């Protein structure tokens, strides 16, 4: 270290932080660009540093095997994390990302627009008849899960089982994983490998226009994909294709319910839906931080972080940095200058960003056109997840 001043500590498990981390982020940013996390790990709090480090070759996403084993144990989940593109560096990351990216191109996603609109109307119909719904279970989860199933070629009848197991894997994307969550993640990886492996075998004889078939084409063209890589990155792509969207829909709706003036703006001017989606992503980013492995010493704010340490790029804090965003603690559905980092950046920019934005635009356009959209009870945060998520968002809705 080149400075002896003690950086402040950040406790992500503090109940007050789980409920609302943004005042704590402001305190950390004011103290400096770094905060202390666990042993050998540091958080990067400010926008300029986060965006710069997203492109810094001295940081990597590929962690030693021991890191995953300490976090999640030495079972199937640990092996899964070591194979998925999220935790791979070039050239493997580039190879895997190129193979999967074809399912998420803007051209492919645009063809889904009418299908997404129909799905939203279908999911809202029973709620409109009842006059109320829980947005989490009745819209935010089923919509993106059904869309990603279509993209990937997963039969709709198995969608709920696949979602359940993929969600259990998602709970293990954190530095310290509780024992039961480890067990659930191991069971989920084993189940998904078997289930999706069987689907891939069916595609060998009956290929379709979906991600599973594309991956098999890549394997047969000599792209050096192992069977485990195909299955594990299919599992990861399914998870990544719905998880962020689920939480963006719920946190965005919760934000509108808490800010009726912004809901009124969106109702008065539906063209704001595009900027509103990005503002919801900035306001309460579903993913609050991404970990990077320090491959070479790097200096930040007068401190030298040694090789082998972990830097967590604190997306949630960066998105509220007053040095970059005007009045960052004010929800503004018309915000124009909004370079948020909710989808990450650099070579690990979220593959599903275009899809998530389109699904969000369709959902919020439809919700804003409802004559009634108001709370039907308190929102409830989901405590056992590394994401900014809700377990329940009860709403009253009506068309007239």
Q: Which residues contact 312 (CB under 8 A, 6 or more apart)?
A: 37, 41, 42, 43, 44, 289, 290, 291, 292
d(CA 45, CA 316): 9
Q: Which residues contact 257 (CB under 8 A, 6 or more apart)?
A: 263, 373, 374, 375, 379, 393, 395
Question: Total domain count for the chain?
Answer: 1
Within a domain: residue 9?
A: no
- As a whole number, mean pLDDT of residues 13-17 equals 88
The pTM for the full model equals: 0.92
Within a domain: residue 8?
A: no
User: What backbone torsions phi and psi does residue 376 show, to the nearest 5 degrees?
Assistant: -125, 35
Kindly report the CATH number assigned to the domain that includes residue 320. Answer: 1.10.630.10
Lowest mean pLDDT among 157-166, 314-323, 334-343, 385-394: 157-166
The DSSP code sequence of 226-246 is: -HHHHHHHHHHHHHHHHHHHH
Q: Which residues contact 30 (CB under 8 A, 6 or more apart)?
A: none
Specify the pairing of strand 394-398 against strand 372-375: antiparallel
Q: Which residues contact 222 (CB under 8 A, 6 or more apart)?
A: none
* Per-residue pLDDT, 2: 46
Helix (H, G, I), strand (E, B) or coil at 95: helix
Within a domain: residue 10?
A: no
d(CA 250, CA 247): 5
- Of residues 253 and 352, which shows the higher confidence score? 253
In this predicted structure, the answer to whether residue 374 has a pLDDT above a threshold of 80 is yes
What mean pLDDT, rounded, does the chain reach?
90
The answer to whether the peptide bond before residue 91 is cis (omega within 30 degrees of 0) is yes
Most trustworthy range by pLDDT among 157-171, 228-242, 262-276: 262-276
* Per-residue pLDDT, 223: 60
pLDDT band, very low/low/confident/very high, at 5 (cuts 50, 70, 90): confident
Task: Give the range of the structural domain holding residue 346, as residue numbers without chain letter.
Answer: 15-398
* Per-residue pLDDT, 98: 81
d(CA 19, CA 251): 12
- H runs (alpha helix) in the chain: 15-19, 22-31, 47-53, 65-72, 76-83, 92-101, 106-110, 113-130, 135, 142-152, 159-170, 179-205, 211-220, 227-258, 260-268, 273-283, 315-318, 353-368
In this predicted structure, the answer to whether residue 382 has a pLDDT above a threshold of 90 is no
pLDDT digits (tens, 9 = 90+) for 52-86: 999 999 999 999 888 888 888 889 999 888 888 98
- As a whole number, mean pLDDT of residues 176-196 equals 90
- Of residues 209 and 131, which shows the higher confidence score? 131
Within a domain: residue 240?
A: yes
pLDDT digits (tens, 9 = 90+) for 187-199: 999 998 899 888 8
User: What backbone torsions phi and psi does residue 73 show, to the nearest 5 degrees?
Assistant: 95, -175
Within a domain: residue 141?
A: yes
* Per-residue pLDDT, 275: 98
d(CA 167, CA 243): 8
- As a whole number, mean pLDDT of residues 342-359 equals 90
User: What backbone torsions phi and psi does residue 256 show, to the nearest 5 degrees?
Assistant: -65, -40
Within a domain: residue 3?
A: no
- As a whole number, mean pLDDT of residues 190-210 equals 86
d(CA 347, CA 53): 12
Query: Does residue 76 contact residue 190 with C-beta atoms inside 8 Å?
Result: yes
pLDDT digits (tens, 9 = 90+) for 220-247: 455 666 777 778 888 888 888 788 899 9
């Amino acid at each position: 270290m080149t400075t002896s001043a003690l950086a402040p500590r950040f406790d992500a498990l503090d109940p007050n932080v789980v409920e609302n981390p943004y005042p704590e982020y402001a305190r950390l940013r004011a103290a400096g660009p770094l905060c202390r996390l666990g042993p050998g790990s540091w958080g990067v709090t400010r926008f300029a540093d986060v965006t710069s480090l997203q492109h810094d070759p001295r940081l990597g996403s590929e962690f030693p095997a021991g890191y995953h084993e300490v976090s999640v144990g030495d079972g199937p989940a640990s092996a899964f994390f070591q194979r998925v593109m999220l935790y791979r560096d070039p050239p493997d990351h580039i190879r895997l990302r190129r193979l999967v990216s074809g399912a998420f191109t803007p051209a492919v996603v645009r063809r889904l627009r009418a299908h997404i609109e129909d799905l939203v109307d279908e999911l809202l119909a029973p709620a409109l008849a009842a006059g109320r719904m829980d947005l989490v279970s009745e819209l935010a989860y089923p919509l993106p899960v059904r869309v990603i199933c279509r993209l990937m070629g997963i039969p709709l009848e198995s969608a709920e089982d696949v979602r359940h197991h993929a969600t259990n894997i998602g709970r293990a994307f954190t530095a310290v994983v509780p024992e039961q969550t480890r067990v659930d993640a191991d069971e989920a990886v084993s189940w998904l490998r078997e289930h999706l492996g069987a689907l891939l075998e069916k595609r060998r004889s009956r290929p379709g226009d979906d991600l599973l078939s594309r991956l098999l084409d890549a394997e047969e063209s000599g792209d050096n994909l192992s069977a485990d890589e195909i299955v594990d990155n299919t599992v990861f792509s399914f998870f990544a294709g719905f998880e962020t969207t689920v939480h963006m829909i719920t946190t965005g709706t919760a934000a509108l319910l808490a800010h009726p003036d912004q809901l009124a703006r969106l109702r008065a001017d539906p063209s704001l839906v595009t900027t509103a989606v990005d503002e919801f992503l900035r306001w309460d980013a579903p993913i609050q931080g991404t970990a990077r492995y320090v491959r070479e010493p790097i200096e930040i704010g007068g401190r030298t972080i040694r090789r082998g340490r972990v830097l967590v790029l604190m997306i949630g804090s960066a998105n509220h940095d007053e040095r970059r965003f005007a009045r960052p603690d004010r929800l503004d559905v018309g915000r124009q200058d909004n370079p948020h980092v909710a989808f990450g950046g650099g070579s690990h920019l979220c593959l599903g960003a275009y899809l998530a934005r389109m699904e969000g635009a369709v959902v919020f356009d439809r919700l804003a056109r409802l004559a009634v959209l108001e709370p039907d009870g308190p929102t409830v945060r989901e405590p056992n997840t590394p994401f900014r998520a809700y377990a329940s968002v009860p709403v009253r809705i009506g068309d007239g």
